[in-house]
Amino acid sequence: MLKEQQNRVAGTIDTALFINNVAQAGEGESIRVVNPATEELVADFAGASIDQVDAAVVSAVNAFEQERWKDPQFRKDVLLRLADLIEENRDMLMDTLIQEIGTPINLTANHIDTPVAFLRWFAQQAVIDRTRHLGFNSSRTAVSTVVYRPVGVVAAITAFNYPLLIGLTKIGAALAAGCTAVLLSSPQAPLAVLQLGKLIRLAGFPAGVINILAGGAQVGERLTEHPGVAKVSFTGSVNVGRRVMQQAASGLRSVVLELGGKSAAILLPGVDFNKYAYSLHARYARNAGQGCGSPTRILVEASRYQEFAEISRQVYGRLKVGDPRKADTLLGPVINAAQRNRIEDGVKTAVQNGAEVLAGGGRPDIEKGWYVNPVLVGSLDNKAALAREEIFGPVSVVLTYKDVDEAIAIANDSPLGLKAYVFGATQECLQIVPKLHVGTVQINGGSPLRPDAPMTGYKHSGVGSEWGEDGLREFLRPQHIDCPLA
């Protein structure tokens, strides 16, 4: 217990950047963090300057060449130590997340425990030898071997909704592969990410292996275009992802992009709505709907539309909106007032165009904070903006189908392809999976995230993969060794 107490960092929120294992005050534009639940100022500090971006990348370039960092066992050890330290500082990190993004405390497992488990899995992967021995060539005059080398410095850019989960799994894969990294937080959620600097130093990482920055668009642009960066891994919106890809392309850098989602949940004919209604609605409502894999298009048989609407109204009362520090709160506030306005405007426009609110809607009776009630919208088709655009709020639409083929067609009729959900008899669900144009299909609700499974966005939902062996290999490149026998 004493050892754990010594490894817990102080409760004061640190706003220092972390460059070359040194805490540095920012020298760039101001970043203001306001608590979405109370509208109180949490922090006002300077983010990174362009010179500090350059210093972070140079630090990572130099660290990449260190012999110590090329030792897989050493990388495994420090990654495991970092995972332990994050776990020991679980409460501090979660408290910071609640202050800066208003996420409910009942999502602590998602925000803290899951990335800890992922870091431990990536640590074990660091020591695996992926060498392939191809043997003789066709004339038996030479043998070939394929080895896998780390790509170099990785620019890892995380998002505001799950800043630690996204950021730590990005750098976990990159570090396991032998890369070094510059981690850039979202300017809307920089604080929990910045707290990692002290833990990284305690874990024993060499100077420069991990650098942490906070900043806005100019900082991101400099980082993604920096000649010292070999790979960019970004999570965010489709539009920003396009810009990141264009910026990286100026130096012919490859990218991993995890972008938006408009995931369909197909309730197959005959499915028991009562069995799945609450978990389905809670899935897109949690974290105030700020999740890229949320089932925001629910497909039901046309003949059972009213039945589903009635059962949904019955369970909607259990989707509690309120103080994110209370254990029974499912939805805290959304990230800012502008996002709440966008959500409300989207629903309002849909209703003006003929849609109906089936359940929920409006704002809760809470004096302060950017709260919005979850809402289920029906009487619209898949061409409606609310059915096509990622709202990033606790909103889902109900679409109807005549038969399963039409349900599949509706599910696939989207520019996005991150996830799909299918509910029904398991074998019936499995039969339609090959027809769905998405990177992940969850059957009857699926299970919690697992580190050995990839997350891949089809279509405009992404480029490349995160997590699992596929995600780790994004940070490796093959080298063919051709050796004559003579």
Q: Return the closest-CA partner of residue 336 out of 16, 32, 112.
A: 32
Sign (positive or negative) of CA dihedral 163, 167, 168, 169: positive
Helix axes 217-225, 50-64, angle to 10 degrees: 30
In whole angstroms, give the CA distance from residue 176 to residue 472.
8
How many Cα atoms occupy the beta-carbon half-sphere of 212 within 13 Å? 32
Q: Which tokens is 207 given?
A: 């100077």
Residue 423 exposed, middle or buried by CB count within 10 Å (0-12, 13-18, 19+): buried
Q: Return the closest-CA partner of residue 392 out of 338, 436, 312.
A: 338
In whole angstroms, give the CA distance from residue 461 to residue 431.
24
Q: Which tokens is 275 given?
A: 């069995």
Residue 305 exposed, middle or buried by CB count within 10 Å (0-12, 13-18, 19+): middle
Q: Which tokens is 98 given?
A: 């609640």
In whole angstroms, give the CA distance from residue 8 to residue 246.
41
Give the pairing type, strands 455-456 and 254-258: unpaired
Give the pairing type, strands 142-150 and 132-136: antiparallel
DSSP 319-384: S-BS-TTSTT--B---S-HHHHHHHHHHHHHHHHTT-EEEEE-S--S-SSS-----EEEES--TTS
Which residues share a beta bridge with 452? Answer: none
In whole angstroms, give the CA distance from residue 156 to residue 211.
10
437 contacts 415 by C-beta, under 8 angstroms: no
Q: Return the closest-CA partner of residue 385 out of 363, 419, 354, 409.
A: 354
How many residues in total does the chain contain? Answer: 486
162 contacts 97 by C-beta, under 8 angstroms: no
- Of the listed 88, 225, 258, 466, which one is catalytic? 258
In whole angstroms, give the CA distance from residue 192 to residue 202.
16
Residue 389 annotated to the active site: no
208 contacts 63 by C-beta, under 8 angstroms: yes
Q: Which tokens is 138 given?
A: 């066709």
φ and ψ of 172, to 5 deg: -60, -45
Which residues are the active-site residues? Answer: 258
